[in-house]
Structure 1
Amino acid sequence: MSATIRTVLGDIRPQELGVCNAHDHLFLRSPMLPGQQLDSLEAAAADLRTFAQYGGGAVAQWTPYGMGRNATGLLRLSQATGVHIIAATGLHQAHHYQPAVLAGIEDRLANLFINELTRDSQLRAGLIKVAGSFHHLDAHARRTMSAAASAHWATNAPIAVHLEGGTAGMEVIGLLCGELDVPPGRIILGHLNRFPDPGMHRDLAEAGVFLAFDGPSRANHSTDWLMFDCLTALVEAGHSDQVLLGGDTTVAAAQGAPGMGYLLSALRPRIERELGPDAVARIFIDNPARAFATEWP
């Protein structure tokens, strides 16, 4: 069985993915982010078209269950723009949900994730998104990661992890890989630029996981200048085949954020100048194709 990448429009071969924004949001809604909701189909389409104009071919959409993913909107966006969209199942931190929502699904999380990964229902997901807490894993994180591991073993789907402030990466690896036996090559750790510690990043890379760094965002004040130091350290340490880059803009371009196009118009040229064209090809094309490709059952 050959590996494919599951997009909202169907499965594609890894070589069809193209230049990939490995972590972003087209639709998003949370009580913790008032005024920052992404709910405009037109704004998302404009952002995607700009991304495509710079050569972008795919976006991994990390908005999980219950946060306004807009499955129908994702389908329409991919059809209208030609950009591949990988949708997420999974669950974010507890405070992003009303207690009644969590109470209604906590006893069936694994089945919920599996259903969205394997059936042609309202959403065709291609990854599982879960989240840690700041410098630790709380009970909610452990519960959702355990469900994600069960869903992984049923589907082989990759698990993408929101690291709060870029922290608790080793704790996540200890739980998912150590206790729950998920292969490290099936795990993507996100937001590592928010904790710009090259030594810690090397430790994570040596465990075998993928490392996702995020571009600029008014919402989370990502630090581009330190991110390049971290990327350089990883490449020099021989881990260029584990690095991913995403926009994670979280605020619509229409509201003042740089938008997805910035990832390719500004960040990609600088990476090429500092790290060379081979590193650019790995970070934007080769690594995402491996990270999101799965031998689906």
Structure 2
Amino acid sequence: MSGAPAVRTVLGDVPPGDLGVCDSHDHLFLSSPSLPGQELDDPVAAEAELRAFRAVGGGTLVQWTPRGMGRRRAELAACSRRTGVHVVAATGLHQARHYAPEVRAHLLDGLAERFVADLTTAPVRAGLIKTAGAFHGLDDRARYVMTAAAEAHHATGAPIAVHLEQGTGAPQVLDLLCGRLGVPPTSVVLGHLGRDPDGRAHVRVARTGCFLAFDGPSRAHHATDWRLLDLLAGLADAGCAEQLLLGGDTTTAAARASTGGGPGVPHLLTGLRPRLAEEFGEEFVRAVFVTNPARAFAVDWRA
């Protein structure tokens, strides 16, 4: 054990207080059969996006791209080194549709051990485990992957980040991970809550103690962006402001600010942050961009 909580970045462990302003859910590299022709696979473009983020005050980007989806860990490390932005990488697995048929079965072999190796012994280490639920619940694959993720969490302490399909299925995810598999809620980050904008459900989920990541405004899910501030206000009023995270979730080349049509990674700070400051004040802004991510991704590493 390290003796003190640290965030595991692609360049090594750093104290949580050194993260600065965080984009808690984004992608610099990503490829999926579900997004043909929109791969994030250009290191020059990735570095440009990080530089643009740094120029507007960004300090850390958490990439949720899991195994088998072109996460490009060596390039992540190079981009982080050249730009001065901390980058946290992921291990884990997404839904089957994000992988070519010929590689799906092989990805499931020795899953927990692979996750642990990515987190502890890989040349460029991951700092979180990405998993994914199904629409309004969990299928057999999701349960299998989450069970492996829980094993890896118990071996290392790593946080588990969960893609909620269309923002649904949070109670089922928490029942499995926290209820049956013994993962502390404070080690779980639920993503895409805003895609199912049920504020009452969000408050119930938040009261379990997990972190809630809202990934907007975003090109792919702009239809629910206009509800974001109301959802955050409801959670803040319910006393859950300390569990909120924000990310841009840039998933296509066309969504990049530097080389695509945007809004890209910088928009989180240039477009959304001023609105949050006006609506909720600077203390709230510091919580969702600085202090909450520092707690969500910091681990007293066991390996």
Contact 2:217 2:272 in 1 (8 A): no
Local SS of the residue matching 1:211: strand
Please name the residue that 2:183 is paired with: 182
Q: CA deviation at 1:65?
A: 0.2
Q: CA deviation at 1:162?
A: 0.3
Q: CA deviation at 1:222?
A: 5.2
TM-score (norm 1): 0.97
TM-score (norm 2): 0.96
> Is structure 2 residue 251 aligned with structure 1 residue 246?
no
Q: CA deviation at 1:75?
A: 0.8
- CA deviations over 1:105-156 (Å, ceiling 9, x no partner): 32300000000000143x3100000000111100110000000000000000
Please name the residue that 2:21 is paired with: 19
- 1:231 corresponds to which letter in structure 2? L
Please name the residue that 2:299 is paired with: 294
Q: CA deviation at 1:275?
A: 0.8
Local SS of the residue matching 1:104: helix
Please name the residue that 1:270 is paired with: 275
Q: CA deviation at 1:47?
A: 1.0
Q: CA deviation at 1:296?
A: 0.6
Q: CA deviation at 1:251?
A: 2.1
Contact 2:216 2:222 in 1 (8 A): no
Between 1:211-220 and 1:261-270, the stretch displaced more is 211-220
Local SS of the residue matching 1:136: coil
- CA deviations over 1:63-83 (Å, ceiling 9, x no partner): 000000111110110011100
**Aligned ranges 1:146-161 → 2 under 5 Å:** 146-161=147-162
Please name the residue that 1:78 is paired with: 80
**CA 159–223 in structure 1, closer or farther in 2 if over 3 Å, else same:** same
Structure 1 CA distance, aligned partners of 2:11 and 2:99?
Answer: 28
The total of aligned residue pairs comes to 296
Structure 2 CA distance, aligned partners of 1:76 and 1:58?
Answer: 14
- 2:266 corresponds to which letter in structure 1? G
Contact 1:217 1:250 in 2 (8 A): no
Structure 1 CA distance, aligned partners of 2:42 and 2:155?
Answer: 34
Local SS of the residue matching 1:114: helix
Please name the residue that 1:221 is paired with: 222
Structure 2 CA distance, aligned partners of 1:287 and 1:271?
Answer: 15
Local SS of the residue matching 2:61: strand
- CA deviations over 1:203-226 (Å, ceiling 9, x no partner): 000111000001233223352220
Contact 1:90 1:128 in 2 (8 A): yes
Contact 2:189 2:210 in 1 (8 A): yes
Please name the residue that 1:285 is paired with: 290
Contact 1:18 1:57 in 2 (8 A): yes
Q: CA deviation at 1:283?
A: 0.2
Structure 1 CA distance, aligned partners of 2:250 and 2:109?
Answer: 32
Please name the residue that 2:128 is paired with: 127
- 1:7 corresponds to which letter in structure 2? T
Please name the residue that 2:266 is paired with: 261
Please name the residue that 2:95 is paired with: 93
Q: CA deviation at 1:99?
A: 3.2
Q: CA deviation at 1:246?
A: 0.2
> Is structure 2 residue 63 aligned with structure 1 residue 58?
no
> Is structure 2 residue 47 aligned with structure 1 residue 45?
yes
Structure 2 CA distance, aligned partners of 1:102 and 1:235?
Answer: 41
Contact 1:217 1:251 in 2 (8 A): no
Structure 2 CA distance, aligned partners of 1:70 and 1:85?
Answer: 12
Please name the residue that 1:204 is paired with: 205
Contact 1:91 1:131 in 2 (8 A): yes
Please name the residue that 2:141 is paired with: 140
Structure 1 CA distance, aligned partners of 2:187 and 2:23?
Answer: 18
Structure 1 CA distance, aligned partners of 2:150 and 2:70?
Answer: 24
Structure 1 CA distance, aligned partners of 2:71 and 2:201?
Answer: 32
- 2:103 corresponds to which letter in structure 1? V
